[in-house]
A and B are shown apart, each in its own frame.
Chain A
Amino acid sequence: MRDSKRPSRPIASRHCDDPRIDYKDAAYLSKFVTPQAQILSRKRTGFCTQCQRQLKQAIKRARHLALMPFVG
């Protein structure tokens, strides 16, 4: 029986040092937000600290330029 509290599989387990983290690539960034457009946690994305920070910054820049929504 599967433990319901067990975290689901991270989306990006091998995406660290990925040059694709760019605010212009909204299609890629949209994989790391919830349907309500909230940024996923590090546990869920699988990014390291630095990459998660880059992801957060890129999503916020994309939101500023209306490439991504603030609210889904």
Chain B
Amino acid sequence: MTQLYEGMFLLDNQAVRADWAQAKAAVTDALAKHGGVVRSARRWDERRLAYPIRGRKRATYLLTYFEQEGAATQGLRRDLDIEERVLRYLILATQAIPEGELEKSQAELEAGFSVPPPPADDEPGAPVEEARAEGPEGPQEGGSVEEEVALEESVDEPVDEDESSEKEVD
């Protein structure tokens, strides 16, 4: 039995800047993959986040209404968790599509519609660089800890040697 769902998806502004259609398709394709029928999908808003998510201070909200089998949502959630362009999502069962939603969604599909580019106050590229910088640092930090332990052990040994040498001197 299909159920009508309301889905709000938080999209990465970098993906929106690159291509809004592809960023939107990341969500709609995932819905279609799991048997969802998208009734409405539109850009709800672009705004500053109340707290940073994955280093992003702003994000674009995509509001969708879709029909899907109840059992398929688990697989959908798993795919959305993996999808990097989706920062966060909220899927709720709903009874009906609000008035005006379908019209707004249709207006976005028309040829003349253009998504305003997100403001550049969150410094595009910076979070990715930080993430890249954090990636290699992880193993390096682990390696450095091991090195430190090895150094401590190696430091201990010379101390003994020094003590032994001191004893010898004495």
Binding site for B on A (CB under 8 A): 23-24, 61, 63-70
Contact = CB atoms under 8 A, between A and B. Distances in A.
A70 B8 contact: no
A61 B90 contact: yes
B61 A65 contact: yes
A67 B61 CA distance: 10
Contacts of B51: 66, 69-70
A65 B88 contact: yes
B103 to A, nearest CB: 17
Interface in B60-106: 61, 63, 88, 90, 92
21 contacts: A23-B90, A24-B44, A24-B63, A61-B90, A61-B92, A64-B90, A65-B8, A65-B88, A65-B90, A66-B49, A66-B50, A66-B51, A66-B53, A66-B59, A66-B88, A67-B47, A68-B50, A69-B50, A69-B51, A70-B50, A70-B51
